[in-house]
Amino acid sequence: MTIELRLTDTNPPEPDPPRTIYRDIANLPDPTSLGMTVRFFNHDDVSLYFKITGSGSGYTFTPITLGVLDSGLNDYINLDNFASKAKPTAAQLPNGEMGETITLTLTAYTDSGYNNLKWTFTRNVQVIWINSADPAFTVNAFNNFDDGTVQGWDVITESDEAITLAVATDYVLSSPYSIKATHTASFTTGGAGRMYKSFNTPNKDTIYAVADIRMSAREVYGFASILELKHDDTLLIHLGKASNIANQLPKDRWIRLVAPLPKNSTVEIRISFEWYDQGFPKSAYQWLDDFKIISK
């Protein structure tokens, strides 16, 4: 193949593992927006100009031009608001779940006007919709912080900046509190840190973590670059890419992350955030509210 689209950090020639996108309709706006981070490759001998779009029943995709990529290189891009769709109803999710498939299409052109098509690469992606409010699911953990405490969550730096964690009232999904991590760097151009907490998962075959996250960095010089959800060292969701020149992730908006968890285990949920700031003061913020673990 001469161009390629991947959804993981696995490098060729190893095959890219299958990836599934999980979405929870509970309290989700209607219509819903879909975003994802993809990785695209130029295996050709010349520079190429890339574009990506998609298709799927009921979806409206916005084609996105990715710019030029030189021969032999690859890059990541976060596709914010890449697609929209009417939110499925609870009746469309029997037993709290429904599966569907979308198709991603990567095209490569020899000119900056995107007229001379040279290569096309398509990939199907499974999307699993869940309804965490469905009676089929048991809520095994629910942290809304409305008792005025951080409910066992903590923070740690992943670079050299200072991080603190406290309940907050400035941005919440369920009043009166969320929790807010405050990142402050003195000498570097930013930092990376994570929220974390350990949970015991039930002995059931289907288990999901649902996390609603909001990120911010100082205006003008502050950039949000990477957001990850892990259990222990296992990466479940990666959004964005390292950058100190532009936002790779949407700031000042709630983002929902949904991922499966192993059963009958003690897992540490880790929500990592990487950011850059080229001015003073150097600061960034990360909120979490209404975190839940559900199972059936």
Q: Quick one: three-class SS letters along 246-286?
A: CCCCCCCCEEEEEEECCCCCEEEEEEEEEEEECCCCEEEEE
pLDDT digits (tens, 9 = 90+) for 85-117: 999 999 999 999 999 999 999 999 999 999 999
CATH number of 138-295, picked from 2.60.120.260, 2.60.40.10, 3.30.365.10, 2.60.40.1180? 2.60.120.260
């031009």: which residue's tokens? 65
- CA separation, residue 36 to residues 7, 15, 26, 246, 252 (Å): 9, 20, 20, 17, 17
pLDDT computed for residue 220 by the predictor? 67
State pTM to two decimals: 0.94
Specify the pLDDT at position 222. Answer: 81
8 A C-beta contact, residue 226 and residue 272:
yes
Domain range summary for the chain, segments of one domain joined by +? 3-130, 138-295
Per residue in 140-184, pLDDT tens? 999 999 999 999 999 999 887 899 999 999 999 999 999 999 998
Residue 195 has pLDDT above 90, yes or no: yes
Strand partners, 261: none
240 versus 279: the higher-pLDDT residue is: 240
The CATH T-level fold of domain 3-130 is Immunoglobulin-like (2.60.40)
Residue 42 and residue 51 in contact, taking contact as beta carbons nearer than 8 Å? no
Alpha-carbon distance 96 to 130, whole Å?
5
Phi, psi of 90 (to 5 degrees): -60, -35
Cis, peptide link before residue 17, omega less than 30° from 0: no
pLDDT tens digits, 212-238: 999 998 766 788 899 999 999 999 999
Confidence check: pLDDT of 39 > 90: yes
Q: What is the mean pLDDT of the chain?
A: 94
Question: Taking the CA of residue 131 as centre, how many other CA atoms within 13 Å lie in the half-sphere pointing to its CB?
Answer: 16
The single-letter DSSP state of residue 10 is P
pLDDT band at 44 (very low <50, low <70, confident <90, very high): very high
Asked whether 64 and 52 are in contact (CB, 8 A), the reply is yes
Q: What is the mean pLDDT of residues 264-279?
A: 92
- Residues 129, 91: Cα–Cα separation, whole Å: 12
Quote the distance between the C-alpha of residue 46 and its chain's center: 32
**pLDDT score recorded for residue 113:** 96
Looking at the predicted structure, is the pLDDT value of residue 12 above 70?
Answer: yes
